A and B are shown apart, each in its own frame.
Chain A
Amino acid sequence: MYLPTQRTVVVVGHGMVGHRFVEALRSRDTDSTWKVVVLSEEAEAAYDRVGLSSYVGAWDRGSLALPGNTYAADDLVDLRLGTRADHVDRGARTVTTSAGEVVAYDALVLATGSYPFVPPVPGHDADGCFVYRTLDDLDGIRRAAETALARAAAEGREANGLVVGGGLLGLEAANALRLLGLTPHVVEFAPRLMPLQVDAGGGAVLERLITDLGVHVHTGAATQSIAREEDGRLAVGLSDGSALLTDLVVFSAGVRPADAVARSAGLDVGERGGVVTDITCRTSDENVWAVGEVAAVEGRCYGLVAPGYTMAEVVADRLLGGEATFPGADLSTKLKLLGVDVASFGDAMGATPGALEIVHTDATKGTYAKVVVSDDARTLLGGILVGDAAAYTTLKAYVGREVPGDPGALISPAGAELGADALPDDAVICSCNNVTKASICGAITEGACDLAALKGCTSAGTTCGGCLPTVKRLLVDSGVELSKALCEHFEQSRAELFEIVASTGIRTFSALVARYGTGTGCEICKPTVASILASTGSDHVLDGEQAALQDSNDHFLANIQRNGTYSVVPRMPGGEVTAEQLITIGEVARDFGLYVKVTGGQRIDLFGVRVEQLPAIWQRLVDVGMESGQAYGKSLRTVKSCVGSSWCRYGVQDSVGMAVDLEHRYRGLRSPHKLKLGVSGCARECAEARGKDVGVIATDKGWNLYVCGNGGQTPAHARLLASDLDDETLVRYIDRFLMFYVRTADRLQRTAPWLDSLEGGLDHLRAVVCDDVLGIADDLEAAMARHVAGYEDEWKAVLDDPVKLARFVSFVNAPEEADPTVAFDESGPRKVPVLLGMPSTRRPSHPQST
């Protein structure tokens, strides 16, 4: 909608902060007083630059896209990608773009971010030199790395990559090179790594930990020259006189505010760059604002995204007449670099006059911890943690406060751990979302009695998750007893019962409930135990006492519908079906008068089967080499696939073949909740595998494995577990993943919430599945091997067993008599059941168009 009074704000730059500004403005500007034009120099709409390194391996641009970054449904936002702002005419209030257009503004917001600083050494612009800032930069590094690896292999040597700069970003770049298969070298001018965050002692521990990971560290060395050697490699000369031969160079020696447009427009800039603003983020021109890394708020630039977001919110508020100001920012950092924890908070370097430092170093464990306290040793001022940052959240909450007791005890392993109960109420527990101890405790009092509920109502722990251990401790301290009892008959959780069954070898419900529970069971514990028995043995689900435990659908091996009839879904691995099979399905549907619908899982659903008709239909399927399938039960449902490399011109792997293999392998597997898998033959991801519990996406080198994606009520994208796997490793990892889930998840806990509840999250899961840190991988694989070997067509087994077959009758005293209460209405556009006491639920059918 265009209003005559509408004004235009032009946003220059579409990074994380620019996008946040647009979102903030559009969500608050309910009267549509502003129209937004966004100029983005990059051709890619705003993406998660903080997570840039996660692009390595998956090479999936889509997974880094920020939600809502194209404003597709918002016609008040005009996003122009690949369009740079070349010139600002402040008098005329216009911006001239690289496309030659002149855009008029009422307000201009500069969100140009920063650019990587490249030291002006000779040869810095040689081929093979890169910076580390954009997706395109990483694509370039990837191509160069692949060329280098091929060349190095031909020459029988290892391929090297050199990173100039040993700060946070430099170490991330080194890790990227390592993931690409290069041996990384890091050259840092300062005498230690991460000189801004850690001190000499912490730097020494960090250097040792990083070196142990195969990264060669050269500290106290300046890069002086880069020259191309005859063999095509680059020789990098260092200030200590040595030279390193490398296949490629990545500069990450810091960033500078991208303030060129502002300078040429005559806006005030800081001594060290950055557009100077007041605390409202307004520049020296009242119609021009600056946010994010390009802004020097009261002369100070901030290189973190959180302060940038705050600035974006401030300007959005101001444009709508608000009074917000930028409150300054907490520059504390906690991160994991190459798996090494590093945290730095408050006055980490002890710059406060009279400040005292207490240090605890453990060379054997590779940890360094320092706290900085006031001259009377009572107030905590800051600190540094390397190697183990578990104490970060608690310590940070004490910054600026009096410490109870001996401050040295805060970091001494022998010292009593500071309880969360000792924290003051206004201590910020979750700094990402600014949640205090008081609001978490308030939520607990109001009834949030588990982690998921607390996350939901306070947002604590929903961003980086670093504070979750503290949140959990608050929950425990509050006296909330988290009942893990399965139901009134078992005090144990599902995972505990699994362990009991696995270790005692108990194979009947009656023995289990007699020894470990009370009563006779119920509709909750019986199917749970049935599922555990199915996962730990290969008896038929209707054998012996197990028959009485199965949920109704597992008992009748079909999916009950609202009128008590069933639907039958023939198994169709990978959605593949022959003409003969399709004809049989059609004939069955015709002969039994069934309603037919294609499912979302690439199968065909046949509705309206009466219980006594089920065996006859299964027999018809068996006769043409098919079997029925689980469209019910807590078990593997389907493995969805795209058509893959056999037919698709884009496909790089045989996704159908892989999907068929996976479905044959895992069919019949019982689990805490339903399981869905997907296989895509290329990065276009047509099988929507990232919405599945296990998603497999082809790469030109093999397969990327994603896990814990869910559709349904609480959708979650699957997350990358491992990249470029060969077929055998892929299947091995999926075996381990599925069995680990089957063993440890709660009843009805799907994989995404299960992952959320795993202590250590994705990193821990990867350590268990890929690195076998628990030493259980062989066990998990053996359990899956038993499942695969023990699989039988459950439906055919019923046909072959007269005792089981005899249960598929309408009435025990009239086995052939059709249930007189089952009726259908076929007068409308589709056949529907008619329920008792509800003669017609049908809405009037839509008039047919002619």
Chain B
Amino acid sequence: MTTITTPFGLALAPDSAPAPARTVVRPGVLPAPGPKDWVPACAVHTLVPGRGVAVLLPGGAQAALFLLPNGMIYAVDNIDPYAGAAVLSRGLTGDRAGEPTVASPLLKQVFSLRTGVALDDPKVSIPAHSVRVQDGVVHIGLRLAGTSAVR
């Protein structure tokens, strides 16, 4: 049994309840090229398919991490650029013509989970993060050059 320690010292036990057998959980997008600082977020099984969680990143930034019912995992920045509030992890997921999406719980703007682009307003986008699953734990990849800008 592997125990993972998060940057904040919280111990996670990844294998207490396995993910549903038929669904293979995997990243929804290939990691962007370049070296990464992989931040462990949580055990895969703690995620509710179709919903998201907020992940605190080193340096105070935060990501919104989603598991979709088809097993794909995505991470985008948690801050809704329209509202200026860290809420996207609490939005509803879905798809638009197959593109995986999350809608802000505040004013319902819809963002692509793959690219972070606001689908009705392509000038606006939020950072999308690389993810990986290792030993039943989801990691969020941060570019080593620094964390995504929050403020």
Contact = CB atoms under 8 A, between A and B. Distances in A.
Interface in A813-850: 813-815, 817, 819-822, 835-838
B122 interface: no
B138 to A, nearest CB: 9
Contacts of A838: 84
Interface residues of B, number: 47
A549 B69 CA distance: 11
Contact of A547 (B51, B53, B105, B150): B51
Q: Which bucket holds chain A's interface residue count?
A: 35 or more
Interface stretch (A365-373, A556-564, A670-678): A556-564
A72 B124 CA distance: 50
Interface string B50-75: 11011110001010010011100000
B94 A836 contact: no
B91 A552 contact: yes
Contacts of A553: 105
B41 A812 contact: yes
Interface string A563-595: 110000000000000000000000000000000
B101 to A, nearest CB: 7
Contacts of A413: none
A811 B54 contact: yes
Contact of B92 (A488, A489, A552, A821): A552
A817 B56 contact: yes
B86 A819 contact: yes
A234 B150 CA distance: 89
A548 B90 CA distance: 10
B50 A548 contact: yes
A810 interface: yes
A813 B42 contact: yes
A545 B110 CA distance: 22
B30 interface: no
Interface in A92-122: none
B90 A560 contact: yes
A159 to B, nearest CB: 60
Contacts of B97: 488, 519
A192 B109 CA distance: 66
Nearest to A806: B46
Nearest to A820: B60
A521 B95 contact: yes
B50 A549 contact: yes
The binding surface of chain A is classed by DSSP as loop
A552 B105 contact: yes
Contacts of A307: none
B43 to A, nearest CB: 9
A643 to B, nearest CB: 38
Contacts of B12: 813
Contact of A523 (B51, B69, B84, B103): B103
Contacts of A563: 83-85
A489 B93 CA distance: 13
B40 interface: yes
B132 to A, nearest CB: 15
B90 A813 contact: no
B10 interface: yes
B79 interface: yes
Nearest to B88: A564
Contact of B48 (A521, A807, A821): A807
Most chain B Cβ neighbours within 10 Å, of A519, A562, A814: A814
Nearest to A813: B6
Nearest to A548: B50
A522 interface: yes
Given A522-B95, A523-B91, A560-B105, A814 B84 contact: no
Contacts of B34: none
A548 B48 contact: yes
Contacts of B95: 519-522
Interface string A509-529: 010000000011111011100
A387 B97 CA distance: 52
A812 B79 contact: no
Contacts of B46: 806, 812
B123 interface: no
A766 interface: no
A634 to B, nearest CB: 14
Contacts of A663: none
B49 interface: yes
Contact of A813 (B40, B69, B79, B84): B40
Contacts of A806: 46
A522 B83 contact: no
A815 B70 CA distance: 27
A810 B105 CA distance: 16
A620 interface: no
Nearest to A821: B86
A813 B86 contact: no
A835 B106 contact: no
Contacts of A523: 91-92, 94, 103, 108, 110
Contacts of A188: none
Given A562-B106, A817-B8, A526 B94 contact: yes
A303 B96 CA distance: 60
17 contacts: A520-B69, A521-B95, A522-B103, A526-B50, A545-B50, A547-B48, A552-B91, A552-B92, A556-B90, A563-B84, A564-B85, A812-B42, A812-B55, A813-B6, A814-B56, A820-B60, A821-B62
Given A519-B95, A815-B10, 12 more contacts: A489-B94, A522-B101, A526-B50, A551-B92, A553-B105, A555-B90, A560-B87, A562-B85, A563-B85, A812-B46, A813-B40, A820-B60
**What are the 6 closest A-B residue pairs judged by CB atoms, nearest first?**
A548-B50, A552-B105, A522-B94, A523-B103, A835-B84, A812-B53
